[in-house]
Structure 1
């Protein structure tokens, strides 16, 4: 770009030959990029499998844990419903919800759902397998990563199927008392009423 100082007709700027070439190149690339996006959108729209995989990416939530699966079993009572979701790694998660909620979500066997759990609702255990607990959900895995601050600890658990991870929060003192470290086998424990289910609205 070349600048001219002001005079009787005023100053100004003009593109050099090289600048004009770069501008044309940019405009051409911008046009090709727009065409590429159109072609990609058309390809995705015609690919049902790609749509199925991409849909979960549009879900936004404050829950620290977001996993995906299909409804494996659903039971309806007079007031409440119980849904069992099979995660993509093969684990099963049980969720309790009202019949009204189940109806609003249009839950049915085979329906794809997102499983949402706050990390404060998850308890970790490293005790024996025969330990009996009232919590319906007990998923086996191993400690993947530990993040510590002065008060709290966030534990990332790699689930047994190696397809999903869970985040659990506890006090730093509890994590140190349990001697948690990467690779340690553990169970992620949470109640069925701590699970939120989400479906994609059509």
Structure 2
């Protein structure tokens, strides 16, 4: 959902707006959409700021002691989103009826159009979610069977709707990857270790980009110094392990 080129969020935020319109209470609306009171107000504040005009406004005083309500612009946004959502679903149904796999490829094209500074992008499904006191540990299994572990805050985990079976993508900067050529007998604190064969080496003035082909499919790129590349004897065909911390992984979910 975008207004004036600004991304206001997905279906969950529209559901929150719709619930506010029905209940006239932020507390009741938050409960209906299974969102905390603080998260609801944070979402509303963000949407109001990004839209450039209020979508939700507070009511003070009165017989009921105040409350919240949608502004005319907020109501228009909810109504229009519902129309667009119906038309989008109808469009996908038409594509599926015309040719097998077109709808899936349409979603793939949308993913490929995603722009990010992270060199490494992996799409997979959440297979495990371990909740901690402050952070959650998320295990993402890639189509080739490899697993990536990420540590994110509970707030981020909840806002993304992460859980077993949820499709998500992992972003890892190439500069966060450490390459190791001999892991036998060695132990590392980094949770993620992906091994593969070097397929490309591009040397620059200071750094070298190294790309590994992973056995089950996919690639991973790392940026290391030229000196490190020389010391490790990096060359095409050599087996290398890419390691990176769970805290270096950024998780996202495809747009609804």
TM-score by length of structure 1 reads 0.75
1:98 is the counterpart of 2:153: yes
In structure 2, the partner of 1:155 is 210
Structure 2 gaps of 5+ residues are 1-90
On the 8 A contact 1:44/1:50 being kept in 2, the answer is: no
Q: CA deviation at 1:45?
A: 8.4
Matches within 5 A, 1:129-144: 129-144=184-199
C-alpha separation in 1, matches of 2:92 and 2:168: 26
C-alpha separation in 2, matches of 1:50 and 1:147: 32
On the 8 A contact 1:152/1:169 being kept in 2, the answer is: yes
In structure 2, the partner of 1:115 is 170
Root-mean-square deviation (Å)? 2.1
C-alpha separation in 2, matches of 1:44 and 1:65: 31
SS of 2:202's equivalent in the other structure is strand
1:164 is the counterpart of 2:213: no
- Structure showing the higher helix proportion among its residues: 2
Query: Where do 4+ consecutive residues of structure 1 move more than 6 Å?
Result: none
Structure 1 gaps of 5+ residues are 1-38
C-alpha separation in 1, matches of 2:148 and 2:171: 11
Q: CA deviation at 1:83?
A: 0.3
C-alpha separation in 2, matches of 1:66 and 1:195: 10
SS of 1:155's equivalent in the other structure is strand
Q: CA deviation at 1:185?
A: 0.5
On the 8 A contact 1:69/1:87 being kept in 2, the answer is: yes
Matches within 5 A, 1:1-202: 42-43=94-95, 48-161=103-216, 163-202=217-256
SS of 1:108's equivalent in the other structure is coil
Q: Select the structure with the greater relative contact order (CA < 8 A; seq sep ≥ 6).
A: 1
C-alpha separation in 2, matches of 1:63 and 1:172: 21
Q: CA deviation at 1:76?
A: 0.8
C-alpha separation in 2, matches of 1:77 and 1:56: 30
- Structure showing the higher strand proportion among its residues: 1
SS of 1:186's equivalent in the other structure is strand
TM-score by length of structure 2 reads 0.59
Cα deviation 1:117-142 (Å, max 9, x = unaligned): 00000000011333100000011111
Shifted more, 128-137 versus 89-98: the winner is 128-137
C-alpha separation in 2, matches of 1:186 and 1:170: 13
